[in-house]
A and B are shown apart, each in its own frame.
Chain A
């Protein structure tokens, strides 16, 4: 697991402590809101929790999505968030 993925995982568990009971579910492929297909793992954050997550991660990574071309609506999976924050998107 990359350091960026570690940071995102910790942030998700901070926003949703209940997900901390199943940290393995927080994978790169996991959908943040809802799954595109039935077999995809899903975290089930609501829109407020997603905004809080972004705010925490912006603080952690020193990045402001508003200063980039990335839109929050484009972040579907945990991997998308990790890439956006670590500047690989």
Chain B
């Protein structure tokens, strides 16, 4: 006899954000919907070719943590902690979530650099005794688990820029399959430190626009784009079974319908130029949702503003959606909030959920001169009202990581 488990519907019932566009979903939405970039000049100790980024300003960890917790933690842990606390409060959760899935690209890479500096300069015994706890990628999730009492699966995924998109997929499956009624999924990145920015600059991956052009630096699909604009941030969603949400009378932002992950298996940095595997990711996510790609109303693009990604992503959209690629609305949130690497999946998903709620396609800022090779409807500069019932959030990362999530409206 074969038993088939019932699939729970997976609803989004809480949101928490810490972004360069603000610390609330409404602030984030105000910037995204207006196409108002939240990119500013970076204050770096040494000059680098990269001079602009998305900084989470006015963030004070003491607003969210005890003095002891602040002392023991690094910025990526603090950002995730704050976002998780906000999401939990927004959802009105009174009991611990059953599981937690967090995506981060580098974890506490900035702390590693600090430790190495002290090691070389003063010797190993002068290093921070708690330094290890401030850099391990899983320590952010561990901290949140400890605070909220999450004793089920607490997993940290690191798939570069697809990390937290993959975290949503993992969380969705946990709720859908009945592993937990309520889970948190999050993403976090804090990479505006010299070693990280220098390393990406050496790959010629970051925009080199001057500080005075901060607001126009991130320009996905534009002819004049010149690389990613780095940003820090964190975001957390509460995913909940329909049964649990109904029982609690929870506010529902939307539904997670499906997800998929693949790998280009092609190159450490560059995407497949034909977008074939990325396209398959989108198709698989839609299939997981039980939908044809033609049902999709909005694509929230990865849109890194790099020459390679935006062309390959355009090819992927054409392959995945066929003739519908010319009709579906596309938006590139990184034009407003920069590239928050491992955090971007969840952070940009907040934009998707609010776009569905507000029935409005947010624009791709700075898309003034479309690249001839990027010839789809990316909603340039000005947004527009539209009914959005189904949306895809897709992200692609170094190492050929591809991830897509399908959302449904509330």
Which A residues lie at the B interface, using CB under 8 A? 15, 48-49, 51-52, 54-55, 64-67
Contact = CB atoms under 8 A, between A and B. Distances in A.
Contacts of B126: 64
A74 to B, nearest CB: 16
A55 B125 contact: no
Contacts of A49: 68
Contacts of B125: 64-67
A25 B72 CA distance: 26
A48 B143 CA distance: 13
A66 B130 contact: no
Contact of A51 (B68, B124, B130): B130
Per CB-CB distance, the 9 closest pairs between chain A and chain B, nearest first, are A66-B125, A64-B125, A55-B129, A51-B129, A67-B125, A51-B130, A54-B129, A64-B126, A48-B72
B128 interface: yes
A37 to B, nearest CB: 29
A64 B118 CA distance: 14
Contact of B71 (A52, A65, A66, A67): A52
Interface in B331-364: none
A65 B129 CA distance: 11
B49 to A, nearest CB: 37
Contacts of A66: 124-125
Contacts of A52: 71-72, 129-130
Interface of B: 68, 71-72, 124-126, 128-130
Interface SS of chain A: helix, strand, loop or mixed?
helix
Contacts of B130: 48, 51-52, 55
A65 B127 CA distance: 12
Contacts of B72: 48, 52
Nearest to B130: A51
Contacts of B128: 55
Contacts of B71: 52
Contacts of A64: 125-126
Among B68, B71, B129, find the residue whose CB has the most chain A CB atoms closer than 10 A.
B129
20 contacts: A15-B68, A48-B72, A48-B130, A49-B68, A51-B129, A51-B130, A52-B71, A52-B72, A52-B129, A52-B130, A54-B129, A55-B128, A55-B129, A55-B130, A64-B125, A64-B126, A65-B125, A66-B124, A66-B125, A67-B125
A58 B40 CA distance: 40
Nearest to B122: A64
B73 to A, nearest CB: 11
A35 B72 CA distance: 26
A65 B71 CA distance: 21
A67 B72 CA distance: 23
B137 to A, nearest CB: 19
A54 B129 CA distance: 9
A52 B125 CA distance: 14
A49 B126 CA distance: 18
Given A55-B128, A64-B125, A67-B125, 16 more contacts: A15-B68, A48-B72, A49-B68, A51-B129, A51-B130, A52-B71, A52-B72, A52-B129, A52-B130, A54-B129, A55-B129, A55-B130, A64-B126, A65-B125, A66-B124, A66-B125
Contacts of B68: 15, 49
A51 B133 CA distance: 12
